[in-house]
Chain A
Amino acid sequence: MKIKSLLGFAVLAAGLAGATACSGPTAQPQVSDEQAKPFASLGEMPVPFEDLFRPLAYSNIRISPDGRHLAAGKVRDNGLMDAVIIDRRTMEITSSLEMAGNMGVADIRWANNERVLFSFSRKSALAEGAGNFSIAGMNVDGSRKDVIWRGSNDYGGNESAMLSGKIDDEHFRVVVYPSGSSTNFPLNYIYKLNIYTGKSTRIARSPIRLSQPIFKKGEITHWVGRLANSFDHTVVATREDDGGWEETVYDNSKGVFAPVAWTNEDDWMWYSDTIEAPTKGLYKVNVKTGEKKLVYRHPKVDYSQTYSDDDGNPWGALVNYDYPEVVYLDEDNHYAKTHKQLQGTFPNSAIQIVNRTADGNEWVVHVASDRHPGTYYLYNQFDGAMKELANRAQWIDPAKMPATHPIRFNARDGLEINGYITLPVSKEAKDLPLIVLPHGGPHGPRDYWTYDRESIRFANAGYAVMHVNYRGSGGYGREFLFGGYGKWGREMQDDLTDATYWAIQSGIADRERICIYGASYGGYAAMMGITKESDLYKCGIGYVGVYDLNIFMTEGDIPLREAGRTYLKAAVGTDPKERARRSPAANTDRIQAPVFLIQGKRDVRVHWAHYEAMRDALVAQDHALETLVAPRAAHGAREEDSQLEIYCRMIDFFDRHIGDGKPTDAPADDCVPAGALGLEYKYYEGVKRG
């Protein structure tokens, strides 16, 4: 009986994997020779193509304070997600909460031993991706299942909310992020939410926009947010004795000194600083005397986050210079000691302590790597044992997965540039076909050493994939970040070119088999790459890309806000002629490489007009062109069927230009998943190819 129960969990996971596989092409009824099996034309891959698109089986596993239950998000056969409570002893699901259209459990909090709170993201009826958010509660016995907070989308936005802290056994604080009007950043609200009845009372409204509160003993002492008309100014509002707020404004390009949290000592706060040095430093500050103590700063990169114990004391900082590394700020801290021990057990992995029982005896730990999206373990501090709780992707064998390696080189002006290269398995890292994959953003985001689905999908098809944290990316300090402003199509582009030459000179890439592909800003960089370096890249793919910097100034949601207009002027310049010179759509005559454009019809971030401008300019020149339009997608397709088709068509495109095929080969005709309607694909005939 009990062995059945305990193994039931393993069976559960295996059963889930089996069930999902059944919905995929591998389990379809036998088809006749005339009917092509979807994706067969892509050929054999180390990991079946569809397996890299399957939603992860579990999310956010949390152990209850008394250690008797686990709460988790568990995916259904149709890809939607339920919230479940699992009996810790038998590992059987004792109760579940199924919500129509729920596509993700974003957060789980145990309110007490009896009740769990789940934050859901819900599928939008209008477009691919998430719609509004809601918070639901459920007791461990399955009773009192209720949606206790529901985000409004009455005014066309997607209001979201975050559980921010426990007030008492019946109430939590909820920070609500209204979607805001199209012309302004929103002011945030804080509600006191009864976790049983859902009754909520507004207790605060932020005095500044897009801000985060800082609490001391339940009272808000600071808000850290943004200036209404700028993306790049930080405002710190400090509560004054009379209840008013004193505001300090920082220009992010010159440095910010902002509070993070209170320490457990009176008058002392944690601050982050980029004034004293370009990279982010963590300080302990006495707010009465002004005394400052530097706790940690990396010379090259910003720390990504800090980890704190139950008393709010930071014990570690996550640093992503090349591989992710946790730097221990307090070696004697119990969390730090445990993390160090766990890191020793899983040396080439990213270890995250998720939560633990109230007595600190049992800990839920998440272990992930570049080759596996993660497994939850239960760590027992008494015998030091790590026991597997749930493998989030049991169908993935890390040995068959491509590995990712950090790279570093100096750009032509000497600036150090970092990135990552993912290499196909069972192939020597020599003369490989290469896909250069610049990230979107561009200012703020960066790439990391992680399980990157996109790189893995291409590397699994036999390509080396290189991510480059070009200047202007986030994470390398304010000088590196702001050093990219105004450098679109110039130094930022040259960093990608230099990275490509680095890959050639290091012998990894075959000079004659290199393509560039990216989404959003990455789409711009891909198209600028084939425009500016017309004989370096053999093909280019732009996905929801910015192709015309003058259109960028007037269309889409960025220029709707004053802050957006200010940003655009700083990022892409004020001279229309110069912007045209740096726009791929205005320079298609310089492009030699075949082009594949992919666009979401409902994209408001990068307007449809970019796609039209680029497409029409290429068509006018009888350029080798293919297009794919996702009718319900906005800034990127989110649904599995859409993604399967998009990546199948991209891999097919790469195969014909830098893979085993020929540019004159017909495109794949088996990229539409079984049962899907298919996206709008067009292969432009009558043009010169190859």
Chain B
Amino acid sequence: MVKLLAGVATLLLATLLLASNALAEDWQRPDCSTFEEFSACRNAERNDYRRQKQQEFRANGLSFWYYERPDFSENKVVEKALKDKVEGALFFSFSVERDGSVSAVELSKKSSEEVAVYAGPILAAMKNWQFVPSEKSWANQEWRYQFFFEPEQCNEDTQEESCESGSDSGHGKQKSLLVEK
């Protein structure tokens, strides 16, 4: 029985890894067309993902005690990337020890080389995460961060790629940026 469950868990993990690999390789900016405000879309994406992950953790018996947000300030390279509106997704793997501390925090996948510029502050923050201690350790956990910006309003004079019909590639000029504060 235990063996069977372990097998299911491995299969699930493999499926998730495949899914996140695919997402990382073919990352697209989330569709915000149903939102009136871009900021609302950005917040919803962030909150929905965190809610889904935390509920998933909790259902498995792993509960967050302290979630630290990445601090992107006072980092010139990151600030430039934000200014340049570099978009994409980063996937991090980590383990949770029995005492609730986090170890083996690594950048596992990225949608592009450029977006990896944000990884430093995220790794620093994740190392401070704390979970409620439990009877076992939890290896190979995953967390995702996405960076996307509001597309430039299109008009007749706009020559940008993002204004071409049907484009949602996430490579266009952006108006505002995603920074978790």
A interface, CB within 8 angstroms of B = 1-4, 6-7, 66-68, 88-90, 380-385, 387
Verify A6–B63 contact, CB threshold 8 A: no
Verify B101–A382 contact, CB threshold 8 A: no
Within residues 117 to 136 of chain B, which ones have a CB less than 8 A from any CB in chain A? 128, 130, 132-133
- Given known pairs A89-B128, A382-B55, A387-B132, the reply for A3 and B63 (CB within 8 Å) is no
For B46, give the chain A residue with the smallest CB separation: A359
Flag B46-57 by CB within 8 Å of A: 1 or 0 each.
010011001101
Enumerate chain B residues within 8 angstroms of A382, measured Cβ to Cβ: 47, 50-51, 54-55, 64
Verify B55–A2 contact, CB threshold 8 A: no
Q: Which residue of the partner chain, among B50, B64, B99, contacts A3 with CB atoms under 8 Å?
A: B99
Size of interface on B: residues with Cβ below 8 Å to A: 23
Within the complex, the shortest CB–CB distance from B139 to chain A, in Å, comes to 17
User: Which 3 pairs between the two chains have the least Cβ-Cβ distance?
Assistant: A3-B99, A2-B101, A383-B54
Known contacts A3-B133, A89-B128; can you find 11 more A-B pairs with CB under 8 A? A1-B99, A2-B97, A3-B98, A6-B65, A6-B100, A6-B132, A90-B130, A380-B54, A383-B63, A385-B64, A387-B65
Q: Which residue of the partner chain, among A4, A66, A383, contacts B55 with CB atoms under 8 Å?
A: A383
For B101, give the chain A residue with the smallest CB separation: A2
Q: Which of B47, B54, B63, B66 has the most CB of A within 10 A?
A: B66
B interface, CB within 8 angstroms of A = 47, 50-51, 54-55, 57-58, 63-69, 97-101, 128, 130, 132-133
Verify B128–A380 contact, CB threshold 8 A: no
Task: A67 to B67: give the CA distance in the assembly, Å.
Answer: 9
Enumerate chain B residues within 8 angstroms of A88, measured Cβ to Cβ: 66
For B181, give the chain A residue with the smallest CB separation: A359
For A378, give the chain B residue with the smallest CB separation: B65
Task: A88 to B129: give the CA distance in the assembly, Å.
Answer: 11
Enumerate chain A residues within 8 angstroms of B55, measured Cβ to Cβ: 382-384
Task: A68 to B125: give the CA distance in the assembly, Å.
Answer: 12
Enumerate chain A residues within 8 angstroms of B66, measured Cβ to Cβ: 88-89
Verify B58–A383 contact, CB threshold 8 A: yes
Within the complex, the shortest CB–CB distance from A1 to chain B, in Å, comes to 7
Task: A6 to B133: give the CA distance in the assembly, Å.
Answer: 8
Enumerate chain A residues within 8 angstroms of B100, measured Cβ to Cβ: 2-3, 6
Task: A556 to B99: give the CA distance in the assembly, Å.
Answer: 61
Enumerate chain A residues within 8 angstroms of B99, measured Cβ to Cβ: 1-4, 6
Q: Which of B50, B64, B65, B69 has the most CB of A within 10 A?
A: B65
Task: A68 to B129: give the CA distance in the assembly, Å.
Answer: 11
Task: A227 to B63: give the CA distance in the assembly, Å.
Answer: 56
- Given known pairs A382-B47, A382-B50, A382-B54, the reply for A387 and B63 (CB within 8 Å) is yes
Chain A to chain B contacts (Cβ below 8 Å), 30 pairs: A1-B99, A1-B101, A2-B97, A2-B101, A2-B130, A3-B98, A3-B99, A3-B101, A6-B100, A6-B130, A67-B67, A68-B68, A88-B66, A89-B65, A89-B68, A89-B130, A90-B130, A380-B54, A382-B47, A382-B54, A382-B64, A383-B54, A383-B55, A383-B57, A383-B64, A385-B58, A385-B63, A385-B64, A387-B63, A387-B132
Within the complex, the shortest CB–CB distance from A516 to chain B, in Å, comes to 50
Enumerate chain B residues within 8 angstroms of A90, measured Cβ to Cβ: 130
Task: A510 to B101: give the CA distance in the assembly, Å.
Answer: 59
Task: A387 to B100: give the CA distance in the assembly, Å.
Answer: 14
Enumerate chain A residues within 8 angstroms of B101, measured Cβ to Cβ: 1-3
Enumerate chain A residues within 8 angstroms of B50, measured Cβ to Cβ: 382
Within the complex, the shortest CB–CB distance from A272 to chain B, in Å, comes to 35
For A3, give the chain B residue with the smallest CB separation: B99
Task: A90 to B66: give the CA distance in the assembly, Å.
Answer: 9
For A90, give the chain B residue with the smallest CB separation: B130
Task: A628 to B55: give the CA distance in the assembly, Å.
Answer: 59
Within the complex, the shortest CB–CB distance from B179 to chain A, in Å, comes to 13
Verify A7–B47 contact, CB threshold 8 A: no
Enumerate chain A residues within 8 angstroms of B133, measured Cβ to Cβ: 3, 6-7
Enumerate chain B residues within 8 angstroms of A67, measured Cβ to Cβ: 67
For B57, give the chain A residue with the smallest CB separation: A383
Within the complex, the shortest CB–CB distance from A448 to chain B, in Å, comes to 34
Task: A385 to B55: give the CA distance in the assembly, Å.
Answer: 9
Enumerate chain A residues within 8 angstroms of B67, measured Cβ to Cβ: 67
Enumerate chain A residues within 8 angstroms of B98, measured Cβ to Cβ: 3
Within the complex, the shortest CB–CB distance from B138 to chain A, in Å, comes to 14
For A68, give the chain B residue with the smallest CB separation: B68
- Given known pairs A2-B101, A3-B100, A3-B101, the reply for A383 and B65 (CB within 8 Å) is no
Enumerate chain A residues within 8 angstroms of B128, measured Cβ to Cβ: 89
Enumerate chain A residues within 8 angstroms of B63, measured Cβ to Cβ: 383, 385, 387
Task: A572 to B58: give the CA distance in the assembly, Å.
Answer: 62
Task: A568 to B51: give the CA distance in the assembly, Å.
Answer: 60
Enumerate chain A residues within 8 angstroms of B69, measured Cβ to Cβ: 66
Enumerate chain B residues within 8 angstroms of A383, measured Cβ to Cβ: 51, 54-55, 57-58, 63-64
Task: A68 to B47: give the CA distance in the assembly, Å.
Answer: 19
Task: A68 to B130: give the CA distance in the assembly, Å.
Answer: 12
Within the complex, the shortest CB–CB distance from A672 to chain B, in Å, comes to 45
Task: A66 to B181: give the CA distance in the assembly, Å.
Answer: 8
For B51, give the chain A residue with the smallest CB separation: A382
For A2, give the chain B residue with the smallest CB separation: B101
Within the complex, the shortest CB–CB distance from B88 to chain A, in Å, comes to 24
Enumerate chain B residues within 8 angstroms of A7, measured Cβ to Cβ: 133
Enumerate chain B residues within 8 angstroms of A2, measured Cβ to Cβ: 97, 99-101, 130
Enumerate chain B residues within 8 angstroms of A387, measured Cβ to Cβ: 63, 65, 132
For B130, give the chain A residue with the smallest CB separation: A89
For A359, give the chain B residue with the smallest CB separation: B181
Task: A383 to B61: give the CA distance in the assembly, Å.
Answer: 12
Task: A4 to B97: give the CA distance in the assembly, Å.
Answer: 13
For A4, give the chain B residue with the smallest CB separation: B99
For B49, give the chain A residue with the smallest CB separation: A382
Task: A89 to B66: give the CA distance in the assembly, Å.
Answer: 6
For B62, give the chain A residue with the smallest CB separation: A383
Within the complex, the shortest CB–CB distance from A419 to chain B, in Å, comes to 42
Task: A380 to B98: give the CA distance in the assembly, Å.
Answer: 21
Within the complex, the shortest CB–CB distance from B111 to chain A, in Å, comes to 24
Task: A601 to B51: give the CA distance in the assembly, Å.
Answer: 60
